[in-house]
Amino acid sequence: MKGIVIIGLIFFCISCKPSILVAQEKESENLPNKKPRFSEKDIYQISPNSIHIIGQVESIRDKSIDLCENIYNHTALINVVEIIGSGSGIINMLNKDERVQMIFMMGYSEVINNKKMVFEGIKEGELFKGIIIEKLCKDSGKTHYIISQYKKQ
């Protein structure tokens, strides 16, 4: 007798599960297809060895400077106002309020009247949003930073 009851319960349980799944499938068919929504942070990816910052140009150097045994003519002393994000592989991470000599790789022009260099409209004391690339020196314990892209704030 107990065997018949147990077999009946097992049969009843097995027969109920598919009907529950069918009901759930019907409910999901009635719902409109919604695309997943991502925030800007989910979509916003940062390349390896890159740091996104808001910085302030403290001084622009018109003389050549030696960084990592290389001579650069287009450099500026940058105060890091805010770190927006960083990619993987950063060896020496920049910190907020850190002052660092950086290399400008694009947008260099010279203003003859004021005898000051200007980088695409960015002058001393102004804020900019930029992508900084960290490069290792030949002495792997040191790094230098290159401003690859920037936009005036």
Q: What are phi and psi of 85, to 5 degrees?
A: 180, 170
pLDDT at position 31 over 70:
no
Q: Which residues contact 130 (CB under 8 A, 6 or more apart)?
A: 52, 53, 54, 55, 147, 148, 149, 150, 151
pLDDT at position 148 over 80:
yes
pLDDT at 110: 43
pLDDT by residue (tens digit) across 41-98?
Answer: 544 678 899 999 999 999 887 777 787 877 877 788 999 999 999 998 898 999 999 9
Place of tokens 């009851």: 5
Alpha carbon of 59 to those of 63, 77, 112, 148: distances in Å?
Answer: 12, 5, 17, 18
Return the CATH number of the domain spanning residue range 43-152: 2.40.50
Two structure tokens written together for 12:
């009843």
Nearest to 150 by CA among 59, 58, 75, 52: 52
Domain boundaries, the chain: 1-34, 43-152
pTM above 0.95, yes or no: no
- Residue with more model confidence, 7 or 91: 91
pLDDT at 115: 45
Q: What are phi and psi of 123, to 5 degrees?
A: -115, 170
